Amino acid sequence: MIDFAVIGSGISGATISNKLNKKYSVKVFEKAKGVGGRSSFKRFKDNIGFDHGLQYLSPRSREFKSFTNKLIRKRVIKHWKGNHEFLNERVKRDKKHIKLIGVRGNNDISKHLLKGINCKYQSELSEIQRKKDYWILSFKDNTYTYAKNLIITAPFPQVKKLASRFVKTKLFRNKVKMNSSLTVLLMTNKTGSNVSSFFTNDNILGWISNENSKKRFKYNKDLWVLQSTYEYGKKHTDNYRNKKKFYTNVLISKFKNLTKIKIKKIYFTHIHGWKYSSNSIPLKTLSYWDKKIGLGICADWFGGPRLENGWLSANDLYNKIK
Ligand SMILES: Cc1cc2nc3c(=O)[nH]c(=O)nc-3n(C[C@H](O)[C@H](O)[C@H](O)COP(=O)(O)OP(=O)(O)OC[C@H]3O[C@@H](n4cnc5c(N)ncnc54)[C@H](O)[C@@H]3O)c2cc1C
């Protein structure tokens, strides 16, 4: 029987697995086809693709800065230099800090941390049961696994659904409201734009990224990521599936109007609704650990809206387990 089953391969799952794996047997279960969770990279072909969720890292804490510096030296991540434009002066004051990205894609950190660790993809945990001193984990595909300890790293509403009956503290009494966002991936003709990203002042389209500016690939077409504001995401993420073309067009026409970039041809679009994008209001604790039943929870939403909060949460949980 494995010592630790870890649910999720995002930064929180990858970080805690990497640490535990030095001492214990660990297996990661991930419901998606690939690694990285909300920092996934959507590959178009070969090494060409889009950062689908997380856009960049901007480390704030001393510990995370030191971690990212190590990853820069190991060539896992790099600086995203270039021309980052701010159409919103208030945002400009807040956001003018360094931007780090994965060398190949923003899921590179999870990939790096999970090297050599047993991971099973397309494996969605649907139910958990605690026996005397072990867990029985049931998955959507009717398989199950036994584990001595269980760590869950999913967004707040999903962990609550799976584990609330086993959690004795007030954790799930917190009202964690996760922001939503619509993202359009767009491939156009070469536009000649020298802008790497735009923070806008619009109430529908909040952020535009020029994927070619990340210098991961050379391609004869431009790749763009358009992200809605949380305000727009909150209103439309639940029903975008019925009107994908409509929402795609709304974001693309905003893109054209705001940037004045000349688009002659669109080759590819893809729209995705991130229902649980991030939580902006930190909780009083950074992670949850119940040694008696071997249940741990770590995720970004304990600490805030950024990947760094997931990393800090996983480190906090590891210190509790230790
Ligand atoms: C559109 C968008 C833009 C963002 N931009 C930025 C940014 O620029 N900078 C920044 O710092 N942060 C950004 N973030 C936030 C950042 O992506 C997250 O803080 C971080 O990726 C969270 O990592 P995590 O490991 O805690 O959660 P996740 O990455 O969500 O990992 C949880 C994993 O668990 C898996 N899972 C869930 N339930 C189950 C189950 N039942 N069974 C098996 N697997 C399961 C999920 O598939 C997922 O892979 C952005 C997020 C989004 C969505």
Which string of DSSP letters, residue by residue, matches 65-123?
Answer: HHHHHHHHHTTSEEE--S-EEES-HHHHHHH-S--EEESS-TTHHHHHHTTTSEEE-S-
| Mean pLDDT value across residues 89-102 | 75
Q: Is the CB of 42 under 6 A from ligand 1?
A: no
pLDDT band per the 50, 70, 90 thresholds, residue 280: confident
Q: Is the CB of 7 under 6 A from ligand 1?
A: yes
Q: How far is the CA of 195 from the centre of ligand 1 (A)?
A: 27
pLDDT, residue 249, reads 98
Q: b/e per residue, 211-220, with b = 16+ CB within 10 A? A: bbbbebeebe
276 CB contacts (<8 Å, ≥6 apart)?
Answer: 155, 156, 157, 158, 178, 180
Under DSSP, is residue 27 helix (H, G, I), strand (E, B) or coil?
strand
Torsion of CA 79, 85, 90, 95, to 10 degrees: -10
**Residue 314 in this model has a pLDDT that exceeds 70:** yes
pLDDT, residue 201, reads 87
Q: Residue 288: beta bridge partners? A: 297
Q: Is the CB of 30 under 6 A from ligand 1?
A: yes
pLDDT tens profile 182-195: 999 999 999 999 99
pLDDT band per the 50, 70, 90 thresholds, residue 96: low
Q: How far is the CA of 142 from the centre of ligand 1 (A)?
A: 25
CA dist 169 → 153, 172, 173, 283 (Å): 17, 8, 9, 13
266: enclosing H helix or E strand: strand 266-279
**Residue 239 in this model has a pLDDT that exceeds 80:** yes
Give me the chain's average pLDDT, please. 95
Specify the pTM.
0.96
Residue identifier of the C-alpha nearest atom 41 of ligand 1? 125
What is the topology classification, in CATH, of domain 2-66+108-176+281-321?
FAD/NAD(P)-binding domain (3.50.50)
pLDDT, residue 87, reads 81
**Residue 63 in this model has a pLDDT that exceeds 80:** yes
Q: Is the CB of 53 under 6 A from ligand 1?
A: yes
pLDDT, residue 93, reads 59
Pick the CATH number of 82-103+178-279 from 3.60.20.10, 3.40.50.10490, 3.90.660.10, 3.40.50.2300: 3.90.660.10
**Residue 233 in this model has a pLDDT that exceeds 90:** yes
Domain boundaries, the chain: 2-66+108-176+281-321, 82-103+178-279
93 CB contacts (<8 Å, ≥6 apart)?
Answer: none
pLDDT band per the 50, 70, 90 thresholds, residue 97: confident
pLDDT band per the 50, 70, 90 thresholds, residue 287: very high
Identify which of 217, 189, 211 has the alpha carbon closest to the alpha carbon of residue 45: 217
* Residue pointed to by tokens 């304990």: 302
Residue identifier of the C-alpha nearest atom 14 of ligand 1? 54
CA dist 219 → 5, 43, 45, 100, 306 (Å): 40, 13, 11, 22, 30
56 close to 100: Cβ distance less than 8 angstroms: yes
Give, as one character, the DSSP assignment of residue 293.
Answer: T
Q: How far is the CA of 54 from the centre of ligand 1 (A)?
A: 8
Residue 306, φ and ψ in degrees, nearest 5: -120, 160
Compute the distance between CA of residue 309 and CA of residue 302 in angstroms, rounded to an integer.
7
Q: Is the CB of 210 under 6 A from ligand 1?
A: no
pLDDT tens profile 111-136: 999 999 999 999 999 999 999 999 99
pLDDT band per the 50, 70, 90 thresholds, residue 207: very high
pLDDT tens profile 192-205: 999 999 999 899 99
Q: Residue 223: beta bridge partners? A: 187
**Residue 24 in this model has a pLDDT that exceeds 70:** yes
Atom of ligand 1 nearest to the CA of 227: 1
Q: For the chain, where are the alpha helices, taking DSSP H only?
A: 11-20, 62-73, 89-95, 108-113, 156-163, 230-236, 244-259, 307-321
296: enclosing H helix or E strand: strand 295-297
pLDDT tens profile 65-87: 999 999 999 999 999 998 998 88
**Residue 95 in this model has a pLDDT that exceeds 80:** no
Count other C-beta atoms under 10 Å from residue 304's C-beta.
19
306 close to 278: Cβ distance less than 8 angstroms: yes
Compute the distance between CA of residue 314 and CA of residue 322 in angstroms, rounded to an integer.
12
